[in-house]
Amino acid sequence: MAKPTVMAIAHRGASAIAPENTVAAFDEAIRLGSSAVEFDVRMSADGVPVVIHDDRIDRTTNGHGRVADFTALDLRRFDAGSWKGHRFAAARIPTLEEALLAIADPVIPVLEIKVHVPAAVLAELLLRRNAAARAMVISYHAELLAPLKALLPKLKIGLLLDDWSKDPLRPARALAATTVVANVRCLTMEHVAAAHAAGLKVWCFTANDVGLVAAMAAMGVEGIITDYPDLIRSQRG
Instruction: Report, as residue numbers or ranges, the catalytic residues.
Output: 11, 53
Let me know if residue 149 belongs to a domain: yes
Q: Is the pLDDT of residue 192 over 90?
A: yes
HSE of 214, CA atoms in CB hemisphere, 13 A: 4
Q: Is the pLDDT of residue 203 over 70?
A: yes
Asked if 24 contacts 13 with a C-beta cutoff of 8 angstroms, the reply is yes
Q: Is the pLDDT of residue 3 over 80?
A: no
Asked if 121 contacts 97 with a C-beta cutoff of 8 angstroms, the reply is no
Let me know if residue 182 belongs to a domain: yes
Let me know if residue 217 belongs to a domain: yes
Let me know if residue 236 belongs to a domain: no
Number of domains in the chain: 1
Asked if 189 contacts 164 with a C-beta cutoff of 8 angstroms, the reply is no
Q: What is the pTM of this model?
A: 0.96
Q: Is the pLDDT of residue 2 over 90?
A: no
Let me know if residue 93 belongs to a domain: yes
Let me know if residue 206 belongs to a domain: yes
CATH number of the domain enclosing 202: 3.20.20.190
Residue by residue, DSSP assigns the chain as --S--SEEEEETTTTTTS-TTSHHHHHHHHHTT-SEEEEEEEE-TTS-EEE-SSSBSTTTSS--SBGGGS-HHHHHTS-SSGGG-GGGTT--PPBHHHHHHHS-TTSEEEEEE-S---HHHHHHHHHHTT-TTT-EEEES-HHHHHHHHHH-TT-EEEEEES--SS--HHHHHHTT-SEEEEETTT--HHHHHHHHHTT-EEEEE---SHHHHHHHHHHT-SEEEES-GGGS-----
Per residue in 98-140, pLDDT (tens digit) is 999 999 999 999 999 999 999 999 999 999 999 999 999 999 9
Per residue in 17-38, pLDDT (tens digit) is 999 999 999 999 999 999 999 9
Say what the pLDDT of residue 234 is.
59
Let me know if residue 1 belongs to a domain: no
Average pLDDT, the chain: 95
Let me know if residue 43 belongs to a domain: yes
**In which domain, by residue range, is 118 found?**
7-231
